[in-house]
Structure 1
Amino acid sequence: MLKGAIEYAPSTFEERGAAVAFTTPLLSQTRVRRGERSKLEVLIPSLSQGMGIYVVAWKAVPEMVSMTMHDRYLHDLIVKEDACAPHEIRRATLKAARRGLAGPKAAQAARHALEEDEEQGTLTHYLLILSILKAVGLESPEMLKAGIDTDEGQRLTRQLMTRAAESLRMDATLLYSRLAEIAAVAAPVGLARSPKPGRLTRGLTDLKGFRDSLTDWAREVPSDAAPVAAFCAEVAQHTIGIGEKVLGDFHRRIEAIGPLMRDWDSEIVRVRAQAGRMAWLLDGWSHITGAWEVAQTEDHHQQAATVNDLFRILPLLPRKESSRDFVADSKQVKLAHRRSVRMLEDWRTGQMDMDAIRRIEAVKARAP
């Protein structure tokens, strides 16, 4: 059921919803959330007004919009899995892309992302084992030399972990189980001392590059879209500031692995909450940073069109996450946005825009 356009100022991340990487231009980065009676609904940004939102029952979307094959499959998958959190939506997106429905490059990127997730999980688990052994004074050069993926390395690891569990006064099976649980939570973020940063930490770094690039563009390129670009960079900066604090707290709690094991019931809840908050903070930004990077190969006219598209889907922080009211601030930017959109209105049509679809697929061809 269509609920109509609203001025959207969500209080929480859950109310804001999770961004969905559709390839149909009108639906690109629309957000799904739980609505009345816990039924899924989608929030569709208005094409021309920037911050207007249409609230539509999720199951009604295919009847309203002409969707690509990829999007129909992804839509059905989200309904089937009843997904509306960032990690659930990402998993469904990778499943859809892996089938090749968004092109061979997107399929390859999805397979690579899934492989990288598995490798990151293994690396995180290994580093946590080293961390717990160090915490109880059982560092082993022999284990490191043998390597954890060899029979000898695994034998030494089991011996040392049994002794570590005794030192912590807990069952070895429980210690292994808890480390596996921490690894599953921590892998998307990454550990502070990891030789390879996690996906969300890389996302925060990408966001810093986006902020810097867009700030320079707004200053150097004469365009009606310049104030819009500056606003997007400001929202990015505010998100970065909060993200760095969340990341610092997350890493401190993981590094204090002894207290984490000792006060497990309360600490794992906090660790899980911080990891989830990082995912929500960065939700929707990977498409934006990727789209802007793709736009760097295009002329200023198309870059201005990209800036206006990004403004329309900008992940504004919910009220409970920020003291800054970006929804109110954005009202001043809307005038510049409308002027810029009118200047570029030949780029925006309500029909199936094949060039726009190709640009979206180019973003999906980057590792999600």
Structure 2
Amino acid sequence: MGRPANGETAPKTKRRGETPLLPATFLKRGTYLPFTTSVLSYARLRRPTGGSLEILIPGLAGGAETYVIPYKVLPEVINLTVHDRALHEELAHLREISPSRIRQTANRVAMTGLGGPALAKRAKQERLADEEQPAMILLSLLRMAIGQLAPNHPGAKDLTERTIATPEGMKLARDALGGYAQSIGERGDKIYARLESWANRIAPVGSPDGNVAGYLMTLLVALEGLAAELGKWLIQEPPETAEMAQRTVTAARGAAELARAHLKALDQMANNMAEPLRDFENTEKKLKHHVERMALMIDGWQRVIDMWNAARAGDRFLQRDTLEIFAQHLPIMPEEAVGGQVEMWETLRQSQTRWGRTSQHRIDSDLDQDTKDKLSQFRKEP
């Protein structure tokens, strides 16, 4: 059974004379950083065009502004945990700033144990899955390709997940795809190689048939689960926390819908492989684009999901406190992605500003005056 999908909305027309409530682009918004230092729980990293790396720290001093700090000086301003110092050093070597690159770097640091055993265990599990899943996805793609391009090849109808992984099954798969390869003037092994590349490209998402879930698909499903759970949880809440929960639900669903639009595009290519395999150079670009955009749509939500998962076993008071903390810092979608949902995201941003002014749970509550004085020297953005 395939995966459900939702379409993207039309691009927004920018209105003149208004103070921007949303970042203009993903580049401007920056990429989420999995730091363990509490004040950096929602920090992001970006590299302005032609500029140096910057750390973005939102929500300090109860304000709506985001502090912009040159990357190199961060350890001189904030007292970082040992894990975060190591991560800070590793991230400095990144040429490409993207959710996938930061995740790989963060997992490498986490596996050293500097962030504790739980973080190390999770990173090792993710790394193992990253190594194993491309081969499993390839098997799914091979079955789909044979079913579409060589359904009448002897033995093709009897192929299963188990038999296709055997030497005999792989030989059958290569032979079956050989006929299609000849029809487009290619060698059979070239089609197999293209499917291998396809599998590697979509590994973060998983297989189109849903049998293998990559980490992005796992995060997307968890995000939709969070929205469904909070939608029920808020029914018994007083107006203030009910509003926070409802805004979180709306934001989570909005981000998930945008991610699923790219998932739908990936599935469409997989469900009609003939042309994508023929023009594979163009296909690779499309696969890369959709996977990267999907990652950007749900970037930063893992922190929120982890916090709610930890609070779930507690009482209502703990859950309310947790909600109040992360609701102020929900990932905001940039203008380039929101399409017709501008008002919804702007309303969320306005609500976050209001919550931040009255919140008893601020991320900078543990900062000493010396650190606050250092932070005040840096510029702020709306």
Would you call these one fold, judging by a TM-score over 0.5? yes
Q: Which residue pairs with 2:104 in the alignment?
A: 91
Q: Does residue 1:244 correspond to 2:254, yes or no?
A: no
Q: Spell out, residue by residue over 1:278-324, the C-alpha distance to the aligned partner (whole angstroms, 9 max, x if none).
A: 11111111221121111112233332332232123311111011133
Deviation at 1:92, TM superposition (A): 0.6
What residue is the counterpart of 1:303 in the other structure? 319
Alignment of 1:172-183 (within 5 A): 172-183=188-199
Partner of residue 353 from structure 2, selected from 334, 346, 351: 334
Once the 2 structures are TM-superposed, how far is the Cα of residue 251 of structure 1 from its aligned partner?
Answer: 0.7
1:41, 1:54 → 2: CA distance?
10
In structure 1, what is the equivalent of residue 248 of structure 2?
232
The Cα of 1:237 is off from its aligned counterpart by 1.7
**What displacement does 1:347 show?**
10
Cα distance in 2 between the residues matched to 1:236 and 1:155 = 45
SS at match of 2:288: helix
AA of the residue aligned to 2:75: P
Q: Could you tell which deviates more after superposition, 44-53 or 70-79?
A: 44-53
Letter of the structure 1 residue corresponding to residue 195 of structure 2: L
Alignment CA distance shift 1:38-1:258 (3 Å): farther
Of 327, 330, 341, which residue of structure 2 is paired with 1:324?
Answer: 341
Matched, 1:10 2:23: yes
Contact 2:241 2:324 in 1 (8 A): yes
Change in Cα spacing, 1:233 to 1:49, as seen in structure 2 (3 Å) is farther
Structure 1 residue 185, shift from structure 2 partner? 1.4
Q: Which moved more, 1:229-238 or 1:155-164?
A: 155-164
Aligned-residue RMSD, C-alpha: 2.6
Deviation at 1:121, TM superposition (A): 1.1
Displacement of 1:181 after TM fit?
1.7
Which structure carries more relative contact order (alpha carbon 8 Å, separation 6+)?
2
Deviation of the 1:333 alpha carbon = 4.8
Q: Which runs of 5+ in 2 are unaligned?
A: 1-18, 369-382
Distance 2:362 2:159 in 1: 64
State the Cα distance separating 1:163 from its structure 2 match: 4.1
Report 1:154-173 matches (<5 A): 154-173=170-189
How high is the sequence identity, in percent, across the aligned residues? 26
Deviation (angstroms), 1:345: 6.5
Residue 257 of structure 1, CA deviation: 0.9
Give the 5 Å matches for 1:1-368: 9-49=22-62, 51-137=64-150, 138=153, 140=156, 144=160, 147-222=163-238, 224-322=240-338, 323-325=340-342, 326-339=345-358, 341-342=359-360, 344=361, 348-350=365-367
Classify 1:285/1:193 alpha carbon distance in 2 versus 1 (closer, same or farther; 3 Å): same
Q: Alpha-carbon deviation of 1:245?
A: 2.4
2:60–2:364: 8 Å Cα contact kept in structure 1? no
Preserved contact between residue 139 and residue 165 of structure 2 (Cα < 8 Å): no
> Contact (CA 8 Å) 2:139, 2:161: kept in 1 or not?
no
Mapped contact 1:34–1:41 kept (Cα < 8 A):
yes
Aligned length: 344
Matched letter for residue 350 of structure 2: K
**CA shift at 1:61, angstroms?**
1.0
Distance 1:144 1:214 in 2: 40
Query: 1:35 Cα deviation (Å)?
Result: 1.7
Higher helix residue share = 1
Q: Structure 1's 271 and 87: CA in aligned 2 closer, same or farther, altered over 3 A?
A: same
- Contact map agreement 1:204 1:282 (CA 8 A) in 2: yes
